[in-house]
Amino acid sequence: MSLNPKTGEQLKNFWGYSTMAFFAPKASYASDGWDGNQVREFKEMVKAFHGSGLEVLIDVVFNHTAEGDSSGPVISFRGLDNVVYYCLDPESKEYLNLSGCGNTVNCNHPVVQAFILDCLRYWVLEMHVDGFRFDLASVLRRDDKGEFLPGRTLVDVIEQDPVLAQTKIIAEAWDAQINQVGGFPGRWAEWNDHYKNDVRRFVRGEPGMVPVLATRIGGSSDLYQGSGRRPYNSINYITCHDGFTLYDLVSYEHKHNQENGEGNQDGTDQNYSSNSGVEGATNDPLVHALRLRRMKTFATILMVSHGVPMILAGDEFGRTQQGNNNPYCQDNETSWVDWNLAETNAGLLRFFQKIIALRNRHPVFRRSHFLTGEDTNFDRHPDVSWHGLTLNKPDWSGRSRVLAFMLDGSELPHERRDDDFYVALNGDKVKHSFQVPPLKEGKHWFRIIDTGRESPEDILDEDQGAAETRGKRCSVLPMGAVVFVSPNS
C-alpha cells in the first residue's frame, strides 16, 4: 500500500477484499485478534445478533485473491497449482483480470468449486451466518479462459446445495467486463445497480427519467419478470460501501480521492451526484436545507419501492467521507462511523426510523408481484395508478421531471388488506403543484410525509396527519416528496 499524500501515513487494506484465508475472520476487526480469538468473537457476535432477531450476512470475495498478478506474492494457490486456481490467457499465460484486482479465480474448475462450497458450508455450519453477498459474482459463471459459461456453473451449484438451501444468496451481478443484473437464476437476489443509477439521476434533476423511475418503483419488471422472478429478487439501494455515502451524494459533484495516493484516478466517475449548489462543506443554510430534503426524498423513494431495500450504515444520520468514493485504504475518520452524528443529525435519523417502520407496517409496499395497473377486485382502482401534475395524466416525455402514483391497498389479498397511499415526487428545480386523487364519500387523505418540512413535521404517524380536503392540490418543493395515506379500516 502507498502513503497518504496529505498526511504521509501508511495506507491500509481497510476493507479486507484481498482474501487469502477464506475460512478465517479478519483479525483486525476483532477487539483481540490474537490466538484465534477473532473466531470466538465472531461467533459471539452472531449469537448476539440472532438473540436480537437480526440475521447476519457476510460479504465474500471469491473472484480474486491477495496473490494478485504476476508481480504479486506466492502465498498458497499459485504455488499449489497455478493453472487450476486461476484463469490464464490461453497464449501468454498471463493472469486474466476480470476482477480489476490483478487476477481471476478459476471458479468452475471442480477442485475450486469444491473449495468454495466447503468454505460456504463452514461459515453456515460452524459460524452460523444466514447468507452471503458475493463480490463481482459474474466471475462465478466464467471458465478457465474467462469466457462466459452458458450452462450449469458454480452459481447454480450454490443455489441448489442442500446445506446452503436456507441461506440468503445475493450477487453483485457483474464483474469488470459484464453486467448481468436480472440474469442470475432462481432464488438468487441481486444488487440492482439500475435502480441505484435511475433513482440518483431522477433526484439530481435529469430529464427523461420518469418512465424508468416508475419501472424501478414497481419492482423492476424489465429485469426480473421475464425469467419468472419476483420483486424480492431485486436489492434496491441508493448507496453502498463502494461509492459515495448518501450525504456525499448530495454534497459533491465529483469524487475527491486524492488521499488514496492514486492521483484521484481510482473510484468511479459515474456517480450521478449533485452538490446542491456548493462543492463540499458550506455554511449556506439554503444548501443545507436542499441537501437534507434530497436525502429524505431518496429514503422515501427507496421505502415505497417494490423490492428489498438496502441502506448503507451511517446514511441514516448523514455520515460523510469528504467526497472520497473509494475509501478502501482509509482506516481512519474517513471510513469510520461517527456515532455522534446520531445526535447531531437526530432529525434525519428520526426520519429514517419512521419511514422504515412505515414500510414494515404496510404490505402495500411489499407485494410479491410487480405493479401491473390491474383492477383485480373491480373497485375502479388498480393496484397502482400513475399520475403527473394532473390526475391520470402521467408525463412520460423526455422533458418530464415529476411523477405521482396511488397504491390501492384493497387490491391485496383479504388477510393483507391495507390502506391506500398517494405519493408525489418532484425531481425538478422548481416547486410544483400536484392534483390529489378524489376518494369515496367519508374518506380522507392524511399527509404523513413532506420531505420539505423540518423535523418533526417531515414525517408523522398515520394517525397524526391532518385530513386534507378531497380533490385538493398539494405543493411539492424542488427535489421533494410528499406521501398521503387514506385508511381503509
Write out the H or E segment, with its range, that includes residue 301: helix 285-304
DSSP category for residue 251: T
Write out the H or E segment, with its range, that includes residue 356: helix 346-361
Measured CA distances, 219 to 73, 212, 297, 303, 339 (Å): 45, 11, 18, 12, 33
Catalytic residue flag (residue 118): no
Catalytic residue flag (residue 159): no
The rounded Cα 351 to chain-centroid distance in angstroms is 18
Comparing CA positions, the residue from 375, 465, 479, 378 lying closest to residue 422 is 465
Write out the H or E segment, with its range, that includes residue 42: helix 37-51
Q: Which residues on adjacent β-strands are paired with residue 480?
A: 426
- Helix, strand, or coil (residue 1): coil
User: What distance in Å separates the CA atoms of residue 268 and residue 100, rounded to the nearest whole number?
Assistant: 12
Comparing CA positions, the residue from 183, 162, 187, 263 lying closest to residue 227 is 183
The one catalytic residue among 67, 144, 172, 468: 172
The one catalytic residue among 67, 135, 315, 468: 135
Question: Do 405 and 217 meet the contact criterion of CB atoms below 8 Å apart?
Answer: yes
Question: Do 199 and 216 meet the contact criterion of CB atoms below 8 Å apart?
Answer: yes
User: What distance in Å separates the CA atoms of residue 81 and residue 85, rounded to the nearest whole number?
Assistant: 6
Comparing CA positions, the residue from 415, 419, 314 lying closest to residue 359 is 419
DSSP category for residue 24: S
User: What distance in Å separates the CA atoms of residue 342 and residue 309, rounded to the nearest whole number?
Assistant: 21
CB contact set of 437 (below 8 Å; sequence gap of 6+): 385, 387, 391, 406, 422
- Helix, strand, or coil (residue 171): strand
Q: What angle do CA 132, 241, 205 make, to 5 degrees?
A: 120
Burial of 91 by CB count in 10 Å (0-12 exposed, 13-18 middle, 19+ buried)?
Answer: exposed
User: What distance in Å separates the CA atoms of residue 334 and residue 235, rounded to the nearest whole number?
Assistant: 26
Handedness of CA 139, 145, 151, 154 (dihedral sign): negative
Question: Do 431 and 476 meet the contact criterion of CB atoms below 8 Å apart?
Answer: yes
Q: Would you name the residues annotated as active-site residues?
A: 135, 172
